[in-house]
Structure 1
């Protein structure tokens, strides 16, 4: 039987979000209804609200979530009621050319639930953010979007792996392939950048250089494992990174801002044959201009990291286990716990740079 729950809706471009009653249908074949326990307020949700993703309003926001499976549809084998899961937006198909080549983290045909959640009062269909829509007491997803993890983990912490924290850690470990003894620079120390710092530390980097224009963000990056910091408002970041790496540049530079000028800094701050990883998300109008001879002469790799090139079934349980062992303190990313009605104010604090993550706790 369909259920009615409270959820955060973005009704139109740049309009304030509001809490509305949402109808959640029974799960169809291969689908699951999840009782959401916690959901992080991610910048991607703000992009949806601002119309920066598409115009399929109204949106049911929220996607960085953890909870308990309540019911499943026919033929569902991935999870069963009672499982504690992190929701993900990479439910791999297993059949596309990436999956068939053994690279499911590049899946080109990820899937979502086919049944639609709707506004209770009007019956208008909702577009769930990243196919999840977890700023709600319950949500309907494809079963493949549910990844089982240790149920002893805090939902407020576990859910953060659903997007931003996984993107940053994966940019270092999966895309950048940071190894023991490598030197790493991270440009931009918000939530994703700090996660990249934590990932580089986890991978055994010998020197981790955090770059930002705000000292408070640099202090947070140090708490995540940065060995050196550079305030690029007062120092040339390229020269500073080279000075800290014996004049050579870093083996891996992770750009977590998504702007042409910071990408150019990353390009020139890496060592010869080094790697640049772009994990910051640019906007459509941005353009990059680099001398092609420099691209050729410096060698190495220029990579983009989409969702940290993660495979949820592989990476989520591993990272939760490391957290439970005390080797990866994910709780540092949780700045505040808030209620469902506080999401609009949380967006304001996010834009001001006052938080790493506000987390809605149910």
Structure 2
């Protein structure tokens, strides 16, 4: 039988979210039903609410989640009821041209549940990033549910499902940060601090945090920043060069996604350095750079999608690092809230008062 559960729904563009009762089907072939234990409040959820991604309202929000498998559909052999999982929004299909070339982290046909979750009147819901986890239960493709060590607290573990993985992977996977490298990270929110933590764990000898907020810069030191630069009153390019013997960094990570921060990251690199953009820009934003600079400075300019991660490989690694005390996932959790407090969490996000509010069910 299907389940009737409480969930956070964005009914129309720009309107406050509502807690409604929705219908979640029993899992069909290749699907699993997850009892959600915790789900982080991410900027992407706010983008859905504001219609900045598409207009497929109503949306079932939430996607940074951990929980337990409640039921599995036909053909699901790798998961069983009671398994503790983190939900990924990319589940490689195994058959697209990218998967066939051995690059499943770029999968072009990521798997999702095929059955819709609905409002009580039968209206289909659009789940955020194919997950929809601001709900007591959610239905996802089996490939989206990644089994991890159940010792990890769900309010911390769920965050690797999106923001932490995006930032950590931007440094480790996309940027290829290695031992002895110098790194600058622009923007010290959740994604930026995860990039700082990833760079530190990868062995970078200098990790420079750049932001316009001293409180955020103080937090960045908790995650491994060795130096901080407040760019509100200081030229960050010159400051980063001064901290690297005049050369610039090996890897510059833009965790903001604005033309000015992209330009800063481009010019604070050493020659042949790497720029990684992980902050998501608005569609109308443009960047103009002298082509001679792009040529003469060399190196690489990369965009990082979901930290170029392979969830089945990377999620358990991050959980192990958390449980061993090397990755401070708990430090990303600013507050725990109930389902009916998500709208206020969006306001907290706007004020820059939190790294992550986390819904606990």
TM superposition score category, shorter chain reference: over 0.9
Distance 2:96 2:78 in 1: 19
Matches within 5 A, 1:292-311: 292-311=291-310
Provide the residue aligned with 1:47 in structure 2: 47
1:260-292 CA-to-partner distances (Å, cap 9, x unmatched) read 111000000000000000000001100010000
Provide the residue aligned with 1:114 in structure 2: 114
Distance 1:77 1:277 in 2: 37
Matches within 5 A, 1:165-244: 165-244=164-243
Could you say what secondary structure the match of 1:335 adopts?
strand
Could you say what secondary structure the match of 1:140 adopts?
strand
How many residue pairs match? The answer is 361
Distance 1:341 1:203 in 2: 39
Could you say what secondary structure the match of 1:197 adopts?
helix
Which ranges of structure 2 fall in alignment gaps of 5 or more residues?
none
Q: Are 1:30 and 2:22 counterparts?
A: no
1:15-41 CA-to-partner distances (Å, cap 9, x unmatched) read 000100010011110000000000000
Q: Are 1:2 and 2:2 counterparts?
A: yes
Distance 1:254 1:34 in 2: 34
Distance 1:163 1:359 in 2: 13
Distance 1:307 1:21 in 2: 31
8 A Cα contact 1:78 1:144, kept in partner: no
8 A Cα contact 1:272 1:299, kept in partner: yes
Q: Are 1:93 and 2:93 counterparts?
A: yes
1:296-343 CA-to-partner distances (Å, cap 9, x unmatched) read 000000000000000000000011011111111110000000001100
Q: CA deviation at 1:96?
A: 0.9
Distance 1:253 1:276 in 2: 5
Could you say what secondary structure the match of 2:251 adopts?
strand
Which ranges of structure 1 fall in alignment gaps of 5 or more residues?
none
Distance 2:318 2:56 in 1: 34
**What is the TM-score of this pair, normalised by structure 1?**
0.99
Q: Are 1:247 and 2:257 counterparts?
A: no
Q: CA deviation at 1:77?
A: 2.0
Distance 2:237 2:79 in 1: 48
Q: CA deviation at 1:78?
A: 3.0
Could you say what secondary structure the match of 2:146 adopts?
strand
Distance 1:294 1:124 in 2: 52
